[in-house]
Structure 1
């Protein structure tokens, strides 16, 4: 069963039971991603590490190593 089919089934049940309809899939995705990013930044600050662009810098280092011949 796909996520859309599950959502439609949950909506159908909710309407028949008189309970609130669940939010559509993907409704809160952006909010969750932002909250996760803020959580990781705060954990980095507490651990005394740089709080910004850690993933970008790691990827840049990895790509730079691959671009050099002989590595």
Structure 2
């Protein structure tokens, strides 16, 4: 191991805290994924489907006799 000098404790502590923080974030992501999958499975079991599975909504038509508004950049 390289000589870290008088700041070795601080440097190694910083690496340790960083490792713990990244591991905690990764664990939180995995747990949230599991939770979302359980919720989705429950919704699908109850017969509730995603909105994207239905036909897309038609855009609203402009008022009769009025030309559509132009967008300005």
With normalisation by structure 1, the TM-score equals 0.33
Q: Greater share of helix residues, 1 or 2?
A: 1
With normalisation by structure 2, the TM-score equals 0.32
- Higher RCO structure, 1 or 2 (CA under 8 Å, sep 6+): 1
Say which one has the larger Rg.
Answer: 2
